[in-house]
Amino acid sequence: MKVPAMIWVVAGFVGWAAAFGAIYGFHGIGCAYGWDAVPLGPTNLHRVVQVGAWLAFLPPLLLLALWLRCRRTQANEGGSTRWLALVGETTAWAGFAAAVITFAPTATTSVCV
Partner 1 sequence: MSLDRMPIFAWYILVTAGMMVVGFPPLILGSILLEAERAFGLPFFDPDKGGDPLLWQHLFWIFGHPEVYIIFLPGAGIVSTVLPVMARTKLLGYRWIIAAIVALAFLSFGLWVHHMYAVGIPHMALGFFSAASALVAIPTGIQIFAWLGTLWSGRPQLKLPMLYLIGFFFVFVIGGLTGVMIAVVPFDWQAHDTHFIVAHMHYVLVGGLVFPLLAGTYYWLPHFTGKERSFKLGEAAFWLIFVGFNLTFFMMHLTGLLGMPRRVDVYPADAGWTELNLLSSIGGFITAFGFALVVIDILQTMLAGRASRRNPWRASTLEWAMMLRPGTYNFVSQPHVASRDPLDDVPDLDVRLARGDGYLARDRDGLRETIAVCVNSGRIDYLAVVPTNSWLPVVTAAVTGLFFLAFLLGLYWVAAVVLALLAAMGWIWAKKIVSHADEGPIDIGLGETAYVHHQARFAPGWCGSLGLLVADATMYGSLLFGFAYLWTIAPNWPPPAFIDPSVIDLVVGTAGFGVAAWAMRRSLAENGRGDRYGTARWAFTAAAGLVIGALALLAAPLFRLPSPTSHAYAAIATMLVAYTVLHAIVALLMALFGWTGVRAGYVSPARSLVLRVIGLWTDYAALTGITALVALHVPILLGAGQ
DSSP codes joined into one string, 71-112? HHHHSPTT-HHHHHHHHHHHHHHHHHHHHHHHTTHHHHS-S-
Q: How many residues bind partner 1 (CB under 8 A)?
A: 43
Verify binding: residue 66, partner 1, rule CB under 8 A.
Answer: no
Verify binding: residue 43, partner 1, rule CB under 8 A.
Answer: no
| Distance from the Cα of residue 69 to its chain's centroid | 17
Quote the least distance from Cβ 89 to partner 1, whole Å.
9
**What φ, ψ does residue 44 adopt, rounded to 5°?**
-130, 165
Q: Which of 41, 42, 77, 110 binds partner 1 (CB under 8 A)?
A: 110
| Interacting residues toward partner 1 by CB under 8 A | 4-6, 9-10, 13-14, 16-17, 20, 23-25, 27-29, 31-33, 50, 80-81, 83-84, 86-87, 90-91, 94-95, 98, 101-106, 108-113
